Amino acid sequence: MAKMKKKGTTGAAKNYITRTRAVKRLQISLPDFRRLCIFKGIYPREPRNKKKVSKGSTAATTFYYTKDIQYLLHEPLLNKFREHKAVAKKIGRALGRGEVGDAARLEKTHMPKIKLDHIIKERYPTFIDALRDLDDALSMLFLFASLPSTEHVPSKTIALCQRLCLEFEHYVIASHSLRRSFLSIKGIYYQATIQGQDILWLVPYRFVQRTGGDIDFRIMGTFVEFYTTLVGFVNFRLYTSIGLVYPPKFNAKSDELGGELDAFQLEGRGVGSDDGQATNGDTAKAVISAEAQAEVDKVAALAEPERQEEVSTALTRTEEDENTDAIDTFEPTAKDADVLPQPQASSAEMASLFAPFTFYLSRETPRAPLEFILKAFGCKRVGWDSTLGDGAFTSDESDPTITHQIIDRPALPSTSQPDPAESSEPYATTNGDGTALKAQWPRSTMPGRTYVQPQWVWDCINQAKLLRPDLYAPGAELPPHLSPWVKPKKGEYDPNVPLEQQEIEGEAEAFEEEEGVDDDEEEAEVEDASDTEMIESNGTNGVAAIEDRDNPVEAGEGMDVAGSASESESESEDEEAGVGGDDWEGFESDAESDVSEGEAARRQHQRELEAEATGKALEPTIKTTRDRNAEVRKKAEKKRKQEEEERERQKMMLSRRKRKLLKRIEYGEDKRDKEAENLRKKRRRIEKAKTAANAT
């Protein structure tokens, strides 16, 4: 007979372990256990069947893999945690006896230093693995770099995060790795491509941060401690890969004056030079020594003239191929072939997008993100007002070398600006000492300078080309700022495409009809409201006034002797004509609006026959815009109804399982179409309001 297995010793019960048992097995405190799990990348797991794992209990319990906890038993940090606990006990005992000096000495000399170098190597065996996990690290460091110094967030941690973030931004600027950026409610998103890996991180806006009491800064501080070590390793590898010395020189005085990026000075790692202070551009030249160049010249002189020409031609072609920055285009091979998306610009074109320009940032614009983006896309000369900090190319707004000025102020109305024609004294262009006056926007602008709003910079880099600056002029209504990572799919609303290309057949006509009905209802409501106000203001006499307004003949407005006679004559003529007879066609147009299209066609044919028999010309039917819209809408509805019937017939041929799947697909499509239709209606109303405002 086989040996019976004890319950809870095999299967899922053995694969999982509770947090309480894990802490007891590791013999550390719960905060140290959480800290160790964050360092090692071990997270709680949810078993499929909690009853089997917890032996029938359904209480809320945190589970971990048993193998993960077994893996933690051999972690060297466990000894550091135990040493830290022992020293903490000694410090507490010394403070209890009043020996403050001994406590300070123990904390300074005996407190163990925790290093995470070996954990970084374990979790990221290759450099590409570290780059893939850099998104959360950069977002966390940029967040802590903008926090104020508090009891839970020490100033040393904030300074370390700021230094690492600025070092990473310097690498992105030097390597031209930045690709896209987006202004959102949460902050500014950036995407850089480094060694083939897309890295996306979030930078919060520079507002006053207020930290709530429900945030566990101990957990976040543990993540920051790990991420600072990781980003330090990554920055070192990135700097050395492009021939730069790490860490860069730091100017504390410039940093105190608000230099930020300018507080760091990059140095090239020279190869074959004596001082090793070569810049990044001189590194490749320093690799070739004089002896190697002499040997190459000697071999080239011994070669035959023809062979020398062939070699030079081949070298020229190779250089041309290497220096070719033109991007490849994908042409369709057949008429009905798929059209592949074409690349917008090469990396070299993107790196020099703002290279020929000199920018000046007004004091109301966000200096840090603009400086970072402009320099990452090739701009070498960025100036700003002296109040924004140190490190500007120029602080003089009237500098003639400035080509673009970024302004984020609304334009003043023309009435608030002085008119030189009405002013007795002309504008002074110079001060009393002969120096030029400083340009003061918006009362005066510098000639030959382009004034744009900050969104122009973001839209240019996202579309990989320079956009029209007049669309982003100060005070102009800006185009929509859309996320560069969200591409509209088929059937979805696209704000960049005109409405005529997105709306379905008959949608515009239906909207006009709805708007016409709404306008009529609004007019009726306004009339009713005016009548009610009149009644309330005039009392009982107001009722008579309304009756008089509706029936002016009885009220005596414009009444003459022939008025009542003409009215009685018209009534008698109606009686003689016979209102209830077959010959009266007073409501024919209203009846035709309710009949079908076939009946309307039959009646039109009957009129043509009668006109042909009597010899009279058939009067053309005058159709209003509403009638034409109704016809287009009816045709579109009929067409959609036929397509829906055909689709239902096709669904009948499917199996039950496939019909259910198709039903779920159609539900998602209908929901998407309704959202797109609502957005198109909203845009159509906005455009209609703009047209009406411009017309007035």
Average predicted confidence (pLDDT) for the chain: 76
What integer is the mean pLDDT of 546-559? 42
- 160 in Cβ contact with 228 (< 8 Å): yes
Concatenating the DSSP letter of every residue in 72-121 gives: HTT-THHHHHHHHHHHHHHHHHHHHTT-HHHHHHHHHHTSPPP--HHHHH
Please, which pLDDT band fits residue 60 given cuts at 50, 70 and 90?
A: confident
pLDDT (0 to 100) of residue 639: 80
Highest average pLDDT, of 324-333, 379-388, 487-496, 642-651, comes from 379-388
The rounded distance, in Å, linking the Cα atoms of 80 and 541 is 96
Domain ranges in the chain? 12-109, 117-242, 349-413+441-486
pLDDT per position as a tens digit, 479-514: 888 888 887 777 777 777 777 777 676 666 666 666
Concatenating the DSSP letter of every residue in 656-672 gives: HHHHHHHHHHHHHHHHH
Task: Return the bridge partners of 360, or none.
Answer: 383, 405
Task: Return the bridge partners of 182, or none.
Answer: 189
CA distances from 594 to 25, 354, 587, 590, 602 (A): 84, 64, 11, 7, 14
pLDDT per position as a tens digit, 227-250: 999 999 999 999 999 999 999 999
Cα dihedral sign, 343-348-349-351 = positive
Which residues are CB-neighbours of 218 under 8 A, at least 6 positions away?
A: 31, 152
pLDDT per position as a tens digit, 583-607: 444 444 444 444 566 677 787 778 7
Question: How is domain 349-413+441-486 classified at the CATH fold level?
Answer: Rossmann fold (3.40.50)
The burial of 234, by beta-carbon neighbours within 10 Å (0-12 exposed, 13-18 middle, 19 or more buried), is given as buried
Closest CA relative to residue 38, chosen from 72, 80, 83: 72
Taking the mean position of all CA atoms in its chain, how far away is CA 430? Answer: 45
pLDDT (0 to 100) of residue 521: 58
Dihedral through CA 6, CA 12, CA 18, CA 24, nearest 10? 50
Q: Does the bond joining 418 to the residue before it have cis omega, within 30 degrees of 0?
A: no
Q: Return the structure tokens found at 360.
A: 């000046």
The rounded distance, in Å, linking the Cα atoms of 609 and 602 is 11
Give exposure, 31-51, as e/b (b: 16+ Cβ within 10 Å): ebbbbbbebbebeeeebeebe
Please, which pLDDT band fits residue 287 given cuts at 50, 70 and 90?
A: very low
The rounded distance, in Å, linking the Cα atoms of 150 and 213 is 12
The rounded distance, in Å, linking the Cα atoms of 266 and 262 is 10
CA distances from 666 to 489, 626, 675 (A): 16, 33, 14
Q: Which pairs count as long-range contacts for 608-613, CB under 8 Å and 24+ apart, including other chains?
A: none
pLDDT (0 to 100) of residue 514: 66
Please, which pLDDT band fits residue 475 given cuts at 50, 70 and 90?
A: confident
What integer is the mean pLDDT of 622-648? 73
Closest CA relative to residue 452, chosen from 480, 473, 478: 473
The rounded distance, in Å, linking the Cα atoms of 381 and 392 is 8
Q: How long, in residues, is the chain?
A: 696
CA distances from 487 to 21, 342, 343, 494, 682 (A): 49, 15, 15, 9, 21
pLDDT (0 to 100) of residue 30: 93
- What is the chain's alpha carbon radius of gyration, rounded to the nearest angstrom? 40
- The pair phi, psi for residue 229, each rounded to 5°, is -65, -45
Q: Does the bond joining 447 to the residue before it have cis omega, within 30 degrees of 0?
A: no
